[in-house]
Structure 1
Amino acid sequence: MVVEFWTSGRAPDPAEVAQRAEGAGFDGIIYVDSQNLASDCYIALARAAMATSHIKLGTGVTNPVTRHPATTASAIATVQSLSKGRANLGIGRGDSSLAYIGYAPAPLKTLKNYVIKLQAYLSGEEVPFDADSNVDSLGLADKPKASQLTWLPKDQAKVPVDVAATGPRAIAMAAQHADRVSLMVGADPERIAWGIEVARAARQQAGLDGDIPFAAYLPLIVHDDPERAVQLGEGSLASQARFSVMHGKVVGPVSEKQQTTLDRIHSAYDMTRHTEGSSSQAATLNMEFAQDFGIFGPPSYCIERLQALIELGVDRFFLPGGSMLVSNNEDQVRAVTRLVEEVLPRLRHGS
């Protein structure tokens, strides 16, 4: 099994961070779709596509609310064309992208219907108009009977759709309708195994043949001092852990101590300090929880933890690092350098 390691590309210059990530040896890079907190992800992906030659490019993640599915499909298909087949569409229910326009994450039914339409658009198929369609009111001599990306090149490979999921219903939906399930449940092997089992059971229940590939979003920092590693990664750790208690109820298997910390994260979460280390949610973290939900420590420890997840069936990891490559913080630059030089080469061919 070939294992891929992706990173995030939130930085002032998306082309520069993509070039740095490609040069460092990352297999892919994702750009967040959060219009109030980051520049447009599709423009970033287009710039990255033209500045690189082989690194894969994706959204990490978009949502089913801020864009019509035809618009999302057309945007990522354009990136697919520009990059000569390197695009990937990552999607979830939405978090900061919706909070900053006054909404909670989209209901699962909304995400499911959106993913189904995305798959159809990206396959070049016709998609029926929504029930509230009113194009008939225009009195046209002729009109489209359905929606379709008519410009898609016939020889262009379909963009894969991967769904970031935490709860059992979202994982099951992703397993039945996406091309990949990306688990956002932390780094605890018990929780990863649980998510994989939920997905496989859902596919079996739906009568779908074969397995589906799995990815995992993980907070991970390489540093000889685990406490310093947690300090460098506490912002991403708190934001990712929150998904396991998004609506106040913990999902998936957890210990009593983990539940207590997750409840504290939920109560303390300040969306105006989203992903920041010096935030009220980061202040709720402790070392025991950090080492359960994330991976923080020297190279040998990180290798051991990642290898355990690879053996469970994860073949793609979304890790911090892209923005750290262009950071002015020497500790951050050193951490990502050690990741790509001392950890990733030991794991690329899995188990």
Structure 2
Amino acid sequence: MKKSNPEIWMITFPTPGAFAQLARMVEESGFDGIGLVDTQNLAADPYSELCLAAHATKHLKLRTAVTNPVTRHPAVTASAIATVHAESGGRATLGIGRGDSAVDKIGERAPSSKDFARYISQVQGFLRGEEVTLDNGYRSRNEWIVRGNLPKVPVDVAATGPRVIEVGAKLADSVTFAVGADPERLVWAVGHARKAREQAGLDPSTLKLGAFLNVVVHPDIARAREMARGTVGVIAHFSGMSRDSAAGMRPDDRAVAQKVGETYDMSRHTRADAGHAQFIDDAFVDRFAIAGPPAHCIQRFDAIRELGLDHLIIVGPGADVAPQDHMQTVRLFATEVLPALKSA
């Protein structure tokens, strides 16, 4: 298979008073896009900050990474992302998953895959300007989104297990896998998505595919592993939520993910000093993440580029990493790894 040159995105937190400047820096560093988490009890509102970034940048693509179907009505979600789309001249993407910290922090539960599919269908209908039948039976239409000459906002589903991958493949414009950086598991995810798209009577080639990748660039591989452990725990936790969620994993990694899922401490979300992180050994980090010196990271990316993915979303160090250390890893990625990916 011919190697792809995927778009490279960064994921970060919305930070009032600083995000517009950060977005400019990310654009100037050569990234294709930036994504903001949507977790209202831990961070500011992503849509407001994305609108500010829209005017602070010229070409940088903007997305939620990711929102959920619980904290906002589908009409509200559609209107919010359409606003970002309009303010940016068509650079927005709605990234959405079933929900994690945003849902947990208000005592709610993530919806079933069936309910998630219904929400995606409703949001897509609003974004297309169609009349949408809501859960209460009311028929509703957004009256302003269809105005102008911009294309419809793309909807991207963040997925780990087979059922959510199927929802995204059938109903969304793209799917971004949260399954780690092991090429073997990514091959499984790509195949499952394309098969589901085809079974839905749709052309698999019209579905864009990507991956969330835990990446920490540091000259000292031991330090890189430690800085990555917190966010590796987050995506491993997704794989440990149920038996189905671990599909495509090698047996030893499946056992780790299940332990992390059973013990995940949301009060120490994204942190390497959480109790569940004790199950994430160096071997797991080495397979599940891309962590180490620049040359090592570039070599790992070469294997992933063989998969033909359209976009890669870079997830950096955990919340317990000091800001100056976090920025060092970002600078190393931007100056040492990103140019190699772009020149390829």
Q: TM-score, normalised by structure 2?
A: 0.92
The 1-side partners of 2:337 and 2:260 are apart by: 30
Alpha-carbon shift at residue 236 of structure 1 (Å)? 0.7
Tell me, yes or no, if structure 1 residue 261 matches structure 2 residue 266.
no
Tell me, yes or no, if structure 1 residue 50 matches structure 2 residue 55.
yes
Post-superposition CA distance 1:237-281 (Å, at most 9, x none): 101111001136652223332123222212321101111222112
Alpha-carbon shift at residue 207 of structure 1 (Å)? 1.6
Which consecutive residues of structure 2, in runs of 5 or more, have no partner in the other structure?
Answer: none
The 1-side partners of 2:279 and 2:134 are apart by: 47
- Partner of 1:347, secondary structure, is helix
Post-superposition CA distance 1:82-133 (Å, at most 9, x none): 1111101000000111101112221111111111111111112221344354
Post-superposition CA distance 1:195-240 (Å, at most 9, x none): 0000111112112124211110011111122110011121111011
Number of residue pairs matched by the alignment: 337
Q: Which residue of 2 aligns with 1:25?
A: 30
The 1-side partners of 2:237 and 2:126 are apart by: 32
Alpha-carbon shift at residue 20 of structure 1 (Å)? 2.0
The 2-side partners of 1:122 and 1:308 are apart by: 36
The 1-side partners of 2:105 and 2:91 are apart by: 30
The 2-side partners of 1:255 and 1:105 are apart by: 26
Which consecutive residues of structure 1, in runs of 5 or more, have no partner in the other structure?
Answer: 134-144
Alpha-carbon shift at residue 2 of structure 1 (Å)? 3.6
Q: TM-score, normalised by structure 1?
A: 0.90
Alpha-carbon shift at residue 321 of structure 1 (Å)? 4.9
Tell me, yes or no, if structure 1 residue 310 matches structure 2 residue 305.
yes
The 1-side partners of 2:116 and 2:65 are apart by: 15
The runs of at least 4 aligned residues of structure 1 exceeding 4 Å deviation read 321-324
1:19–1:9 distance in 2 versus 1, CA, 3 Å = farther
The 1-side partners of 2:103 and 2:309 are apart by: 29
The 1-side partners of 2:253 and 2:134 are apart by: 45
1:59-78 map, 5 Å: 59-78=64-83
Q: Which residue of 2 aligns with 1:139?
A: none
Amino acid at match of 1:335: T
- Partner of 1:33, secondary structure, is coil
Amino acid at match of 2:277: A
Tell me the C-alpha RMSD between the 2 structures. Answer: 2.0
Identical aligned residues as a percent: 42
1:336-347 map, 5 Å: 336-347=330-341
The 2-side partners of 1:323 and 1:39 are apart by: 18
- Partner of 1:65, secondary structure, is coil
The answer on whether the counterparts of 1:9 and 1:323 sit within 8 Å (CA) in structure 2 is no
The 1-side partners of 2:175 and 2:237 are apart by: 19
The 2-side partners of 1:204 and 1:132 are apart by: 31
- Counterpart among 161, 172, 180 of residue 166 in structure 2: 172
Of the two, which has the highest radius of gyration?
A: 1
Q: Which residue of 2 aligns with 1:142?
A: none
